[in-house]
Amino acid sequence: SATTITGDCSEGTNNGSFPDLTSSSNFRTIYAKTTASKDNLNCINDGIIPENNKKTDILQLKFLQGDPQYDAITGTNTTSDKINYFIAEQEQARFVTGKHTPTNINVTIWPYSHHVYYIKEEKYLVNNKEIKVPALRRKRLVNGKMTSETIMEGVENMRFLFGLDTNSDSRVDTYKSASTITAAEWENRKAILTVQVFLLIRALQPDPGIELKNQKYILGEGAAKRELNFNDNYRRTVFTTTIRLSNVGGNLWKI
């Protein structure tokens, strides 16, 4: 009962904002890819163009916000127009758009989000001089369409490694990059337990007082690591962290 999305972000089977009930594949709640061009996921046409093998990743997430909108005991209902919701009942679940009054008291209603993160080169005017700056951008589901917004300037490259449980013991057995994960692994909602995030951050302007030649930055480890080399005067640094995903593995919320 959810609305059709304008400019929806999707790639692969059953990977739009809402589940495709005609598909035999599981709905993908997390997905990533390594860019080969500025056009991606049928919704991005302004991504950074890879140069000199300096490819970057794109991350797609669908999730429920941790703020229930209905309390059967008090009768409080805070759903509103033009917002997407996930309605969970004992034996069924639905996606709806707009204000909703449940007929079943044994129901929870959660705001639903669909986000896509990518890097775009933006132009800024500094001291009457136009400069180009890489920036982390986000596509976000709002009012029935995917909107765009800047998250942070200076993000030059990002990479994701996904921790997979391959033997169903709810522990990470291997890490894989976005380009090596199979369609079946993306659709296995119990398999991806963690995500390693690597961000290469660059100063907005070069520093004329330093000479940093043959800079090398490595995102990830092993044979599939991403090695980036630069010969310029920009200061850079790499930030990394590992995020444990909720409601996956043995804690998967089965519908």
**205 in a structural domain:** yes
Residue-wise pLDDT tens digits, 145-194:
999 999 999 999 999 999 999 998 889 999 999 999 999 999 887 889 99
Residue 186, classed as helix, strand or coil, is: helix
Give the pLDDT score at 126.
Answer: 84
**Residue 39, amino acid:** D
Range of the domain at 61: 30-251
Pairing of strands 129-142, 155-164: unpaired
Residue 1 lies in a domain: no
Look at residue 52 and tell me if it is in a domain.
yes
Q: Is residue 82 assigned to a domain? A: yes
Phi, psi (rounded to 5 degrees) for 165: -95, 110
Q: What is the pLDDT of residue 2?
A: 62
Average of per-residue pLDDT values in the chain: 89
How far apart CA 62 and CA 31 sit, in angstroms, is: 9
The torsion of the CA quartet 132, 136, 142, 145, rounded to 10 degrees, works out to: 60
- The pLDDT confidence band at residue 128, using thresholds 50, 70 and 90, is confident
245 lies in some domain: yes
Residue 48: inside a domain: yes
Query: What is the structure's pLDDT at 138?
Result: 97
Comparison of pLDDT for 118 and 49, the residue scoring more? 118
CA–CA dist 50, 37 (Å, integer): 7
Smallest CA-to-CA distance from 28 within 44, 13, 40, 6 is with: 13
Q: What is the C-alpha separation between 182 and 177, in angstroms, rounded? A: 10
Specify the pLDDT at position 190. 83
Give the rounded percent of residues in the chain with a pLDDT score beyond 70: 96
| Residue 20 within any structural domain of the chain | no
| Whether pTM exceeds 0.85 | yes
Domain count, the chain: 1
d(CA 40, CA 52): 19
Within-domain flag for 3: no
pLDDT at 212: 73
